[in-house]
A = this chain, B = another copy of it.
C-alpha cells in the first residue's frame, strides 16, 4: 500500500525559508477532533443492519466532558433498532462551512460502541449534554419512545482537508481539549488580514525565515498560533508561527497575537 498519492508529476515545491525557523506547534489530531465535535451538533451515524449491511443516518448529538457523543433516539429510527441489536457504531462530524470544495472540509470519524447510560446519574449527565447542544431537545424529553445513548469512542480518524490527517486512540481523544478559541477564529483572521497586514509581513520575515517576503496573509488561527500564506520573489510559501504559550481562554487570541507581533518586530530590529 503506498504511503502517499501516486502522482505522475510533482508540482513545483514551495520555496524554503532563507533563515532557519522553528515551525510553530499545531493542534494534535485528537485536539482537532474534539474542537470539530464541540463546534457542531449534527453528524452521520454508521450502524449495522440486521443482515450486517452498514447503515448511515443523520443524528443530532451533544457531548459529555470527555467528548463522548450523546444521542437521543426514537424507537422509530432504523439506527435505534440497529443499536439495540449491536452497539458498534461510528459518528462522522464534518465542518459546516466547507466552501465550494467538499473535500477541503475538516471531518472526523469517531468509532466505538454505543450504550445506554448506566444509572440515573449517568443518564442525567447525558440528558444535560444533549439538551445543551440541541435546542429542540426539551420537546422530546417527555416522548416515551426516545432514549439516550452514549458512544464510547475507541479510535478516531481525523482529516483536515487536503494533506493533513491522522489517527488517534479513544483515550487520546478523551484526554484532549476542544480549542477554546475556535469560535473567535474566523473574526480574528478577518481582522488581521484587514487591519494588520504589516504585522503579518513582519512575522513572515522575522519568525518564519522568509526574509524576502513581500506580503503575508493569515489563513488560519488557533490556540497555538497562526498559519501564514507568504508571497516571496521565489514563489509562494506557507508557514506556521507559534504563540509563546497556548491560549487558554476564548478571548485570548488578541493578547497572544500582539505578543507575537512584538516578538517579530524585536527580531527584525537592528541590533547594537
Contacts and interface: CB of A to CB of B under 8 A. Distances in A.
Interface of A: 1-2, 4-8, 41-42, 44-49, 52-58, 60, 74-76, 78, 81, 88-92, 94, 98, 100-103, 105, 107, 109, 111, 134-136, 142-146, 157, 159
A145 B52 contact: no
7 contacts: A1-B75, A6-B144, A44-B46, A46-B56, A56-B109, A57-B157, A60-B103
Contacts of A1: 75-76, 81
A54 B143 contact: no
Contacts of A142: 7-8
B54 A48 contact: yes
Contact of A92 (B56, B75, B134, B146): B56
Contacts of A44: 44, 46, 56, 92, 94
A53 B92 contact: no
Contacts of A57: 92, 107, 109, 157
Contacts of A103: 42, 58, 60, 134, 136
Given A58-B92, A109-B57, A134 B102 contact: yes
Most buried by B among A7, A44, A47, A146: A44
A54 B60 contact: no
Given A44-B94, A58-B94, 15 more contacts: A2-B145, A5-B145, A6-B144, A6-B145, A8-B142, A42-B103, A42-B105, A44-B92, A46-B54, A54-B55, A54-B88, A55-B109, A56-B56, A58-B102, A60-B102
Shortest beta-carbon contacts, A-B, top 5: A42-B102, A6-B144, A44-B44, A46-B46, A46-B56
A7 B143 contact: yes
Contacts of A81: 1
B7 A53 contact: no
A56 B45 contact: yes
B8 A144 contact: yes
A52 B55 contact: no
B105 A58 contact: yes
Given A134-B102, A135-B101, A88 B6 contact: no
Nearest to A140: B5
Contacts of A92: 44, 56-58
Contacts of A88: 52-54
B58 A90 contact: no
A111 B46 contact: no
B90 A56 contact: yes
